[in-house]
Chain A
Amino acid sequence: MGRRANSRFVLILLFLVSALLLLSSLYSAQASVFKKAREGVIDAASPVLALLSGPISYFNDVVGTVSDYFNVLEQNKALREENAELRQWMDEALALQEIVVAYEGLQTYQAPPEAQPIDAFVIGEANDAFARSMIVNAGRAQNVESGQAVVGENGLVGRIVDTGSKASRVLLLTDIQSRVPVYVEGADIEGILVGKTRGEPVISFTNSAEPAEVSPGQRVLTSGAGGVLPRGLPVGLIESQRRDDIIVDLYTNYARTRMVRIINYEFPGIETNSDPADNQTGDEPPAPAEG
């Protein structure tokens, strides 16, 4: 009986320890000790996750093909329609390409800074009601850094939050902590895409004081504000609007995201190294004139 009481005491003690940890992570969510611990655990678990996620994705593919048989006719029809639409877009793209070539000839067009993409597989996922993240098999060894954008085959997936040496965590756009600066194409609206844990995130904190006017179907892209993400990554389409919140239908389907590309982007910014040199050459001539 004494042993039982002892065990009860340990239980309550450990509960208090957990509560204390929880409180401290409330006040310092990004505390370096916790971050290190998370990154260490991702690293340690990544071989196991990689090993186990192989057969799972094979199984998912098989199940996927079986269910595809049932709606192959519908899919065919939809694909044909989409194809016709894409042909129109192709014509337009070709026309635009000619214009770009012309501009390049005039040398007024500056190519965006080079981004080196890093490809990775999704090996883990937080199957948690409130935490939305994925674990991918690329880390510091592949030059992955916190804050980098992660895109899938259709659009933005999320951004890197923890980096281990060979695996990292991607915070998805639907996570409650996710904040990504975006703009709406053709509407002159910039805002922040905020995760809501449910299916679709919303744009809030827009730059206009009046309720923003958007129409469903308009494209949402990353704005590049803050300089962490490149501008112009496709995010999704506007679905509807409810008071101040603009609901966004993401291009990415998280249930199908297998392979992602991490964008190693560096904000072009003001080149601090070359600036002083420019200033010196600019300043030098006036100096002798004064003296």
Chain B
Amino acid sequence: MGYRAENLLRLLKAAAPTLLGLFGVIILALPIRLFEGAVPTPIIPLVVVFFWSIYGPDYLPPLSVFFIGLLQDLLTGGPIGLWAAVYLVAQFIALSQRPYFLGREQKVVWIGFVLAAAGSSLILWLVMSLMSGVLLPVRALLFQMLATVMIYPVFAAAFSELHRRVLVEV
């Protein structure tokens, strides 16, 4: 393998979590409508942000998180900066609890994710209620967060394989 190809590969590995996060945003913007729209699309970027903030913060710097959130704001047509702020808060929560979570069982980390998702939901609900002038119904948000929490173990397992076998491999 040439020097240039090797460099490209290294770049791709370093950017993989960011690209996954951006791809998660694209998935959120697709008309997936599982079971006639009864099941909300899980917020995969939140999983990406949380996972890499715990297991490889160097692979997902705050700037990447900011741009993932910004893309989501622009694509969903909501207020600009909202999802960027939400993901950054999720990253902050993950980073601050990182020493505790490292080396723990997946179940424990999962509970950590539930807390991060709850914190994110609270910000989302508060800001959107403030902007619309009424207290918004929380059901749709709860369902979507629930879907995200349910898929977390599956995605975390896949991300962990990717991280250990491909990204960190020297």
Residues of B within 8 A of A11 (CB): 62, 65, 88, 91-92, 95
Q: How many residues of A contact B (CB 8 A)?
A: 58
Residues of B within 8 A of A198 (CB): 137, 139-140
Contact with B along A109-138 (1 / 0, CB 8 A): 000000000000011111111110111000
B84 touching A21, Cβ below 8 Å: yes
Residues of A within 8 A of B101 (CB): none
A29 at the binding interface (Cβ < 8 Å): yes
A22 at the binding interface (Cβ < 8 Å): yes
Q: Which partner residue on chain B sits nearest A41 by CB separation?
A: B74
**What is the interface of chain B mostly: helix, strand, loop, or mixed?**
helix
A38 touching B77, Cβ below 8 Å: yes
B79 touching A26, Cβ below 8 Å: yes
A42 touching B79, Cβ below 8 Å: no
Counting residue pairs across A and B whose Cβ atoms lie within 8 Å, the total is 152
A126 touching B76, Cβ below 8 Å: yes
Q: Which partner residue on chain A sits nearest B139 by CB separation?
A: A198
Nearest CB of chain A from residue B75's CB, rounded to whole Å = 6
Question: Complex Cα distance A254/B38, Å?
Answer: 11
A19: contacting residue among B36, B71, B81, B140, CB under 8 A: B81
Which of B25-33, B102-110, B153-161 contacts its partner?
A: B25-33
B5 at the binding interface (Cβ < 8 Å): no
B17 at the binding interface (Cβ < 8 Å): no
A37 at the binding interface (Cβ < 8 Å): yes
Nearest CB of chain B from residue A101's CB, rounded to whole Å = 42
Query: Quick one: given A41-B75, A197-B140, are A7 and B32 in contact (CB under 8 Å)?
Result: no
**Residues of A146-190 contacting chain B, CB below 8 A:** 161-162, 169, 171, 176-177
Q: Which partner residue on chain B sits nearest A39 by CB separation?
A: B74
Question: Complex Cα distance A53/B26, Å?
Answer: 11
B75: contacting residue among A19, A29, A45, CB under 8 A: A45
Residues of B within 8 A of A169 (CB): 77
B31 touching A124, Cβ below 8 Å: yes
B9 at the binding interface (Cβ < 8 Å): no
A8: contacting residue among B71, B81, B95, CB under 8 A: B95
Question: Complex Cα distance A133/B76, Å?
Answer: 7
Residues of B within 8 A of A45 (CB): 26, 29, 75
Nearest CB of chain B from residue A45's CB, rounded to whole Å = 6
Question: Complex Cα distance A41/B72, Å?
Answer: 10
Q: Which partner residue on chain A sits nearest B57 by CB separation?
A: A7
Contact with B along A3-29 (1 / 0, CB 8 A): 010011011101101111110111001
**Residues of B114-155 contacting chain A, CB below 8 A:** 124, 127-128, 130-132, 136-137, 139-141, 143-144
12 contacts between A and B (CB under 8 A): A4-B57, A7-B61, A14-B66, A49-B26, A49-B29, A122-B31, A127-B29, A128-B78, A129-B141, A129-B144, A130-B136, A176-B132
Q: Which residues of A contact B (CB under 8 A)?
A: 4, 7-8, 10-12, 14-15, 17-22, 24-26, 29, 34, 37-38, 41-42, 45, 48-49, 52-53, 56-57, 60, 63-64, 122-131, 133-135, 161-162, 169, 171, 176-177, 196-198, 254-256
Starting from the known contacts A127-B144, A129-B143, 16 additional A-B residue pairs (CB-CB under 8 Å) come to A7-B57, A7-B62, A8-B95, A15-B85, A18-B66, A25-B81, A41-B74, A45-B29, A56-B31, A57-B31, A125-B31, A127-B32, A127-B41, A130-B78, A130-B132, A162-B77
